[in-house]
Amino acid sequence: MKKIRDRRYEILIILNIVFGLVILFLLYTNTTLKERYVRTNFQTQTVAKDGISSDPTDTSQNNLEKPVVINGDFEQGGLGWNNQNAIQCENNGNHYIANGYNWDITQDIQLIPNVNYKLFAYIKKGTATGPARIAFTFHDVNGIRLNTYYNIEYVPKGNGWEEIPPQIIQIPKNTTLSRIYLLTEDGKKGFHCFDNIRLTRMR
């Protein structure tokens, strides 16, 4: 009888060990599935609806062409810009922005430090006698303006829309915020017109 009890006790111990191993296996499998779900879900969230990755290190063609300036063609009114009153509309329905010698037309944009961007823009001659200007300032994490800045000037030659030569903008290494300004180099009351402001990241 004692041998039978010992045998039953051994079987019970073995069953407990097997049961414990099964529980551990199920817990491991469940954890692995959760990790796969989180990883897959994260990868899905980093791709925008238009197929453009939100990862700043992604140098695929789609991500390089992703618009940096919000509403650079002004077809969404004042979206992205701080002065909606400057938005104008031509007879053909095209929207643009007009400004004189002041720093009131701005947009804060997120640019990657130590990366080059190419600026594209269209200018139309207004009443200002000086050139049209597109300026960039850069600010650190404390909001302090860095020494590096860009002041791009263009003198319209005719009366229609003119595309300025593409300009290369290099972002300083300590930049956390970049700011673009649209204005004129004219101390009087003249103005120039701006449209299709676009920045694209270079490889």
The pLDDT tens digits for 108-139 are: 999 999 999 999 999 999 999 999 999 999 99
- Give the tens place of pLDDT for each residue, 140-153: 999 999 999 999 99
Residue 186: pLDDT band with limits 50, 70, 90? confident
Q: Is residue 30 part of a domain?
A: yes
Q: In this structure, what token pair is assigned to residue 61?
A: 């063609």
Shared domain for 10 and 109, answered yes or no, is no
Q: Which of 130-139, 152-161, 163-172, 187-196 has the lowest mean pLDDT?
A: 187-196
Listed residue (72, 71, 73, 99) closest to 85, CA to CA: 99
Q: Is the pLDDT of residue 188 over 50?
A: yes
Domain residues for 3? Answer: 1-45
In this structure, which amino acid lies at residue 101? Y
Shared domain for 66 and 132, answered yes or no, is yes
Listed residue (150, 147, 97, 140) closest to 119, CA to CA: 150
Residue 15: pLDDT band with limits 50, 70, 90? confident
Output the CA torsion sign for 47, 50, 51, 55.
Answer: negative
CATH number of the domain that 161 lies in?
2.60.120.260
Q: How many helices (H) and strands (E) does the chain have?
A: 2, 10
Shared domain for 36 and 97, answered yes or no, is no
User: How far is 117 from 171, CA to CA, in rounded Å?
Assistant: 8
Shared domain for 193 and 149, answered yes or no, is yes
Number of domains forming the structure of the chain: 2
Shared domain for 25 and 98, answered yes or no, is no
Average pLDDT of the chain is: 81
Q: What is the pLDDT of residue 24?
A: 66
Shared domain for 117 and 85, answered yes or no, is yes
Q: Is the pLDDT of residue 1 over 90?
A: no
Residue 198: pLDDT band with limits 50, 70, 90? very high
Residue 85: pLDDT band with limits 50, 70, 90? confident
Shared domain for 170 and 76, answered yes or no, is yes
User: How far is 94 from 75, CA to CA, in rounded Å?
Assistant: 7
Residue 63: pLDDT band with limits 50, 70, 90? low
Strongest mean pLDDT among 16-25, 51-60, 175-184: 175-184
Shared domain for 92 and 168, answered yes or no, is yes
**To the nearest 10°, the Cα dihedral for 78, 130, 122, 73?**
0
